[in-house]
């Protein structure tokens, strides 16, 4: 079993579930370690034992969600033709739908507390035919802004339609 997949019902699994909920509800900065541990029915010591810190827990959650999103993006792009505008559009709309379905819009929309490569932008680069790095960064930023718009209360269908327009204004 991979280390990032905890045993269901274990303290580690409960911490991850509580973290997803709390990080999505309030964002990384607003989450309090004591409250988070309490919601998971564990001590703060368990959090530090399994993840080292709030940041360690957040990065595990975020990286797992980003991995799931990128896998879906790759599948959507392949189904749409592997490269070019249709592949980019399909990848980002499928990624948006998955983030909404997983209820992780704020988690994936907010800037991470530590600088790191953006896996969504990285996944977009091979799909683009021109201006790969800047276009991928800009598209990933638009996608994340759309997620934050959902996280702050705008209906996901409205945001998805707007994102679709940004990706292809002819539609």
* Rg from Cα positions in the chain: 17
What pTM did the predictor assign? 0.89
Report how far residue 1's alpha carbon sits from residue 117's, in angstroms, rounded to the nearest whole number: 26
Domains of the chain, by residue range, sit at 11-58, 65-167
Does the structure show a pLDDT above 60 at 4? no
Report how far residue 81's alpha carbon sits from residue 131's, in angstroms, rounded to the nearest whole number: 19
For 150-171, the pLDDT digits (tens) are: 999 999 999 999 998 888 756 5
Does the structure show a pLDDT above 50 at 2? no
Q: Count CB atoms within 10 A of the CB of residue 81.
A: 12
Structure tokens at 36: 């988070």
Q: What is the mean pLDDT of residues 120-142?
A: 90
Report how far residue 98's alpha carbon sits from residue 73's, in angstroms, rounded to the nearest whole number: 9
Report how far residue 38's alpha carbon sits from residue 108's, in angstroms, rounded to the nearest whole number: 24
For 70-95, the pLDDT digits (tens) are: 999 999 999 998 778 889 999 999 99
**Contact 58/23 with Cβ under 8 angstroms?**
yes
- pLDDT score recorded for residue 10: 83
Report how far residue 117's alpha carbon sits from residue 99's, in angstroms, rounded to the nearest whole number: 19
For 112-128, the pLDDT digits (tens) are: 999 889 999 999 999 98
**Which of these, 125, 6, 14, 7, lies nearest to 70 by C-alpha position?**
125
For 20-61, the pLDDT digits (tens) are: 999 999 999 999 999 999 999 999 999 999 999 999 999 999
Report how far residue 164's alpha carbon sits from residue 25's, in angstroms, rounded to the nearest whole number: 26
Q: Burial level of 54, CB count in 10 A (0-12/13-18/19+)?
A: buried
Looking at residue 2, what DSSP letter applies? Answer: -
Look up the CATH number of domain 11-58. 1.10.10.60
């Amino acid at each position: 079993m991979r280390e990032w997949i905890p045993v269901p019902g274990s303290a580690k699994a409960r911490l991850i579930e509580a973290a997803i909920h709390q990080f999505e509800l309030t964002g990384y900065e607003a989450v309090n370690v004591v409250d988070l541990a309490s919601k998971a029915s564990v001590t703060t010591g368990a959090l530090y034992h399994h993840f080292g810190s709030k940041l360690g827990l957040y990065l595990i959650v975020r990286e797992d969600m980003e991995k799931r999103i990128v896998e879906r993006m790759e599948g959507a792009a392949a189904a749409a033709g592997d490269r070019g505008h249709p592949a980019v559009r399909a990848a980002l709309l499928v990624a948006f739908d998955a983030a909404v379905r997983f209820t992780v819009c704020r988690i994936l929309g907010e800037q991470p507390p530590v600088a790191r490569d953006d896996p969504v932008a990285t996944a977009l680069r091979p799909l683009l035919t021109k201006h790969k790095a800047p276009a991928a960064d800009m598209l990933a930023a638009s996608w994340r802004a759309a997620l934050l718009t959902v996280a702050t209360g705008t209906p996901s269908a409205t945001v998805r339609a707007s994102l679709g327009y940004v990706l292809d204004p002819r539609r």
